[in-house]
Amino acid sequence: MATFADSEVASVDGTGATASPGKRTDIQGLRAIAVALVVVYHLVPAALTGGFVGVDVFFVVSGFLITSHLLTRRPTRPRHLLEFWARRIRRLLPASLLVLLVTLVATRWVAPVTQWEVTARQSAAAATYLVNWLLANDSVDYLAAASAPSPVQHFWSLSVEEQFYAGWPVLVLLVGHVAIATRIAGSLRRLRLLFLVGLGLVVALSFAWSVHLTAANPARAYFVTTTRIWELGLGGLVAALLVLRDRPLRLDPALAAVAAWIGIAAIVWTGFTYTGSTPFPGWQALVPVGGTALVLGVAAGTQAWSPGRLLALRPCQWLGDISYSVYLWHWPLIVLAPAVSGGHRGAIDNGVIVVATLVLAALTKTYVEDVFRTPSWSRRLGQTYALGAAGMAVVIAAAALLVVDLHAREDAARSELGRALRSDDPCFGAGALVASRQCPPSTGDPVPAPVLAALDKSAAYGSSDGGKDCFSALPAYPTVQCVFGDRTAERTVALVGNSHAGQWVPALQQIARQQHWKVVTYLSSRCALADVRQQFDTAEQSTACLDWVHRVTARVGAEQPDLVVVANRVSLPVEGADLADSATPYEQGYEHVLRSWSDEHLPVVVLRDTPAPGDGDVPSVPDCLASHGDDFAACAGSRADWEPADPSVAAAGAIDSPSVDVVDLNDRICGPRQCRPVVGGVVVYFDGSHLTATYARSLSPFLEPELVAAMGPKP
């Protein structure tokens, strides 16, 4: 956030002159606008779909203030950099580390145990200001990206700023040395030009990379520092223009007011019109970033017709003063509130969160932020760095303790799961839905326990082939092949599709052991095996998915396995349509793939897509179970809501080929009208869509005869 709170910088009098220190009320007003956008967006996303641009406003303000400071007191030797970074430590770390520590403790006591590890992992990364890179890596992981947000995820923007603060002063120091070495420093005009060229080159390169990466990999582009430096740097360029002048910049007050209104209008317009589908940051960020830079550059006064008058109002100034702490506190409260209220946030919950955020922010500003900025607190460099490192170590240690507690619970859950698997209970898992067995309803602690269920995934998720991830993924969708079962077997089964094919690997492994089959997988993350362009974030990604479909279809046809098993989940619309209107194009795309194999006389089994709790109102079954204990009904749903239409089944029927069969095991997952999160004492899903490995294995006795019949006898 715009965390350089000592806003006494050049141009404080609205003229652009290097005036005596004072407070620019328009900067505090911009902070108030920025934090209000972010908080409203996080509380009620539908009311302010582009409120995320508040972060970009903060970036520009931070770049402006930091560069103003560096240019008015230019660093000339390494000690100046150490002093600058020490001020950043005293300004930023006490409040941020306090919030991280409190959040970790609160997570331990109120959050579902299934959310502990991601919170601990991100808190440790946030304490060292690297969490944006962790989130960037997770954003391209289909399953990780679908996980519930952690209460410290918002620290990504602080990480970007801290990394900017680490590198930008070094750049200013180097440019200053070039100025001295080339004797440019004696001319303010030449000095300004040199700084504008040096800083501007970094801004231009970062902007170009931001445009490129946003088009190629928008999920990653949102978090990485390299796509955001230009936003802070643009604020720095405005500062350089104002500070490094040989005469005051005096704008007509009316012109400055109009320009400031245009800048604020640009910010507000994007807040209301941008959405989560807007490619960002890229060139689209120019609107809020440029608007902020314009307001900072013209430094409009407080005349009656000027926005500066509104920005100078006491409520705006107060909110701007505490904006850093507001940003720190609001998100943990939003994420953890449902764990306390026992459900979804409502209007009353949101009101309580706002009040609590403002109270905590005001207290933190007074008793933490201000305390570490007073002369009475030691300014010795060694002590500052030592205490900063100690604070980081405390947070990292607290995160580690949370993980240790979690792993102890997981180990206990594994032992319980092992005992359950050895019991040979006919009512275990899917067997409980066989009517003739008259199994009692599930009660007591399920297996795997929710803490372990979220990890109970098929071996295709990075644990097979020496840790090889068997899923092809963005951005390129390469062809990835894994082998399970008996590698020397004479008969081969090809498992093809996206993650809803991968969830069947545990069942196929068990069947392969019984039948002495080799199982070869061709799996993708999200990309369904249909010959149709699916709507990804970019055209390049859509093309990569379609290329994967063509390569895998041809490869399976060329390798002639003894049986092809296909399963897919449709989670993306086709290009040019919404998801509701995509059924027919998908059916045609599946038909093209299946017909190509049928023409090769390959036996094919299409597994009907499984019910998905996330299609109802249960985003994560383990999270829900961890929150509601033995109240399994709270995590159940209507089969009509959970069971998706499957165009691949319709495609198989349209082909009407004896070599293409459809197998539907959903009656072994759900009852006639209701789907439960626990069946036969087993947790059915490891998230909001995919079967746990344990439940998938319990389906193998029902899948095996279907596959054996489809494969037919040995030739």
In the structure, what pLDDT confidence band is assigned to residue 715 with cuts at 50, 70 and 90?
low
Residue 384 lies in a domain: yes
**Cβ contacts of 238 within 8 Å, gap of 6 or more:** 64, 293, 296, 297
pLDDT band at residue 9, thresholds of 50, 70 and 90? very low
Do 61 and 164 lie in one domain? The reply is yes
Give backbone dihedrals phi and psi of 472, rounded to 5 degrees, phi first.
Answer: -75, 140
For position 178, what pLDDT does the model report?
A: 83
Helices 286-298 and 229-243: crossing angle, nearest 10°? 20
Confidence at residue 464, expressed as pLDDT on a 0 to 100 scale: 44
Residue 420 lies in a domain: no
What is the structure's pLDDT at 13?
33
Contact yes or no for 41/274 (Cβ under 8 A): no
Summarize pLDDT for 406-432 with one digit per residue, the tens: 999 999 999 999 998 888 889 999 999
On whether residue 443 sits in a domain, the answer given is: no
Whether 397 and 462 share a structural domain:
no
> Does 519 lie in the same domain as 378?
no
Q: Would residue 680 count as lying in a domain? A: no
pLDDT more than 90, % of the chain = 68
Q: Using pLDDT thresholds of 50, 70 and 90, give the confidence band for residue 564.
A: very high
Q: Indicate the residue among 355, 382, 401 that finishes a domain.
A: 401
Give 270-320 pLDDT, tens digit per residue: 999 999 889 999 999 999 999 999 999 998 877 878 898 899 999 999 999
Is 15 inside a domain boundary? Answer: no
Predicted pLDDT at 465 = 43
Q: What is the CATH number of the domain that holds 483?
A: 3.40.50
pLDDT at 246 over 50: yes
Of 140-154, 412-426, 572-586, where does mean pLDDT reach its minimum? 140-154
In a domain, 620, yes or no: no
Q: What domain range includes position 482?
A: 457-609+647-664
Q: Check pLDDT > 80 for residue 537.
A: yes
Same domain, 481 and 350: no
pLDDT (0 to 100) of residue 642: 95
* CB proximity list for 486: less than 8 A, separation 6 or greater: 512, 513, 516, 517, 518
Q: How far are the Cα atoms of 477, 526, 557, 590, 635 from residue 653, in angstroms, in the given order? A: 29, 24, 20, 11, 34
Are 479 and 601 members of one domain?
yes
**Quick one: pLDDT at residue 630?**
84
Is there a single domain that holds both residue 378 and residue 465?
A: no
pLDDT band at 463 (very low <50, low <70, confident <90, very high): low
Which pLDDT does position 16 carry in this prediction?
31
**pLDDT attached to residue 682:** 95
CA 498 – CA 568 distance, rounded (Å): 5
> Is residue 397 located within the same domain as residue 463?
no
- Specify whether 80 is located in the same domain as 220: yes
Helix (H, G, I), strand (E, B) or coil at 163: helix
pLDDT per residue over 583-639, tens digit each? 999 999 999 999 999 999 899 999 999 999 988 789 899 999 998 888 899 999 999
What pLDDT sits at residue 146? Answer: 56
Mean pLDDT of 662-675: 95
Mean residue pLDDT across the chain:
89
Least confident of 208-222, 239-253, 517-531: 239-253
pLDDT digits (tens, 9 = 90+) for 429-450: 999 999 898 898 888 889 999 9
Determine the pLDDT at residue 580. Answer: 86
Tell me the pLDDT band of 216, cut-offs 50, 70 and 90. confident
Residues 386 and 479 grouped into a single domain: no
What is the pLDDT, as a whole number, of residue 441? 85
User: Is pLDDT of 688 > 80?
Assistant: yes
Overall domain count for the chain: 2
Task: State the sign of the Cα–Cα–Cα–Cα dihedral 625, 627, 633, 639.
Answer: negative
Rounded-to-integer distance, Cα 38 and Cα 241, Å: 29
Separation between Cα atoms, residue 430 and residue 299, nearest integer Å: 68
- 444 falls within a domain: no
Pair of tokens at residue 310: 């509104």
One domain, residues 380 and 467 = no
Q: Which two tokens stand for residue 320?
A: 């701007």
Are 600 and 557 contacting, i.e. CB atoms less than 8 angstroms apart? yes
pTM: 0.87
**Is 573 in the same domain as 467?**
yes
Residue 619 domain flag: no
Verify that 377 and 516 share a domain, yes or no: no
Residue 31 in this model has a pLDDT that exceeds 80: yes
